[in-house]
Amino acid sequence: MMATSYGESLAFVRSGDEDLLVFLTAPTVDSNGLTVVLLTGGGWMPSAHRNRMWVRLARKLASQGFHVARFDYRGVGESTGYRPFFELNRPATDDLGAVLGWLADLGHAEVVLVGTCFGGRTSLTYTARVADGEVAGIVLSGTPVEDYLGSSRSIGWHLRRAVSKRSITRIRTRYPKYLRIAKARLSRAVRQPLNMVNAEMGPQAVSDLYLRPLTKVLERNVPTLIMHGTEDGHYIAFSKGMEGRLGTVLRRAGDLVAIEIFDGELHGELTLAAQDFTIDRVLGWIQAIASNRAAAPDRAG
C-alpha cells in the first residue's frame, strides 16, 4: 500500500542555533530496519524536491518497508536560519548530522543517504567523517565531481571583501580584530583556486573534496550508487576523471560501486523522465541493499 501523509510524522530538529523541519515517513509494511534520508540539491530547493520527487520517492520506499526522512537545510524551506548561497566545498554536514542524531534517538540508526547535487556532496562528506557502520549506503545523483566557479564565490569577491573601504576603515579604527579578518579572507581567497577545478582540466577535474571522501567511503566498504546524465556538464568531468585517479578508485572498489547513466540531462531533474529515472534506479538499488543485508549472516552487535 502506497504511503501517504497519514504515515508521516513531522518534527523541528535542532541543528546548532537553527530548527530544521523534518518529515519522517513510516513504512506501510513490515520495516526492514533501514532508514533512507533524502537530501536536496542547492538553489534553496525545499525538501519535497522538484515536482515532489522526494515526496514520491519517500512514499514509494515506505511501501517497501523503509523509514524515510526528508528535511530542509537551514535557510531553506520551513527551517530557520539564513543561507545566502550554496557552495559545494561547504556542504551541510552539520544539518545532516543533526537529523541523523535525531533519527538515531528514535531508533533509526541504520541509514542510507540519497542526495542530488549539493545533497550528494553533503552525504559523501558526512559519510567519510563518521565511524564505520553508521551509513549503510550512499547515492550520489547528479553530484558534481568538480568544484565549478558558479558554485563558489570568486577570488575577486573575496579580495573585494578583504580590502574594501569598509574593511580599511575598520582596520584603522579597530586594528587588531579586522586585520585578522582581512588576512583570513585574503588567505582563503588565495587558497580558493586549489578547489577551483573544472572539466577543462582533464582527469584533474575531479576535486579533492570529492575524491578524498569517496576513497575513504569505499575503503570502508560503503555501497555507493553514482548517477549522471549524458548531457550533464558534470558527466564530462566524471568521464575525464575516470581516465585518472577517480577511475582507479572506482575500479578498485569493484561491485561496491554501481554507476547508472541517464540518456539526457539528469542534473537538476528538469524533466519527468529524469525524475522517474532517479526514483526508479534509487528504489531498485536500495531494495538490493536491503535484500543483501537481510541475506547476510548475523552481524556483530
Distance in Å, CB of 92 to other proteins, minimum: 15
Among 226, 269, 286, 290, binds other proteins (CB under 8 A): 269
Exactly one of 109, 155, 196, 273 binds other proteins (CB under 8 A); which one?
A: 273
* Binding of residue 52 to other proteins (CB under 8 A): yes
DSSP string of the chain, one letter each residue: ----GGGEEEEEEEETTEEEEEEEEPPSS---S-EEEEE--STT--TT-GGGHHHHHHHHHHTTT-EEEEEPPTTSTTS-S------TTS--HHHHHHHHHHHHHTT---EEEEEETHHHHHHHHHHHHSPTTSEEEEEEES--SS--GGGS--HHHHHHHHT-HHHHHHHHHSHHHHHHHHHHHHHHHHHGGGG---GGGGGGGS-HHHHHHHHHHHHTT--EEEEEETT-HHHHHHHHHTTTHHHHHHHHHGGGEEEEEESS--TT--SHHHHHHHHHHHHHHHHHHHHHHHHSPPPP-
Query: Min. distance of Cβ 286 from other proteins in angstroms?
Result: 21
**Is 75 or 241 the residue whose CB approaches other proteins more closely?**
75
CB-nearer residue toward other proteins: 11 or 130: 11
> What part of residues 137-156 is at the interface with other proteins (CB under 8 A)?
150
110 near other proteins, judged by CB under 8 A? no
CB of 4 to other proteins, least distance (A): 5
How many C-beta atoms surround the C-beta of residue 149 within 10 A? 13
Q: Which of 272, 284, 292, 294 binds other proteins (CB under 8 A)?
A: 272
# residues near other proteins by CB under 8 A: 42
**Is residue 19 a contact residue for other proteins (CB under 8 A)?**
yes
Q: At its nearest, how many Å lie between other proteins and the CB of residue 271? A: 5
Residue 196 binding other proteins, by CB under 8 A? no
Asked if 69 is part of the footprint of other proteins (rule: CB under 8 A), the reply reads: no
Query: Does residue 4 bind other proteins (CB under 8 A)?
Result: yes
Residues 23-42 that bind other proteins (CB under 8 A): 23
From candidates 16, 29, 31, 43, binder to other proteins by CB under 8 A: 43
Nearest-angstrom CA–CA distance, 142 and 120: 8
| Binding footprint of other proteins on the chain (CB under 8 A) | 4-6, 8-14, 19, 21-23, 43-48, 50-52, 55, 75-78, 80, 84-85, 150, 231, 265, 268-275
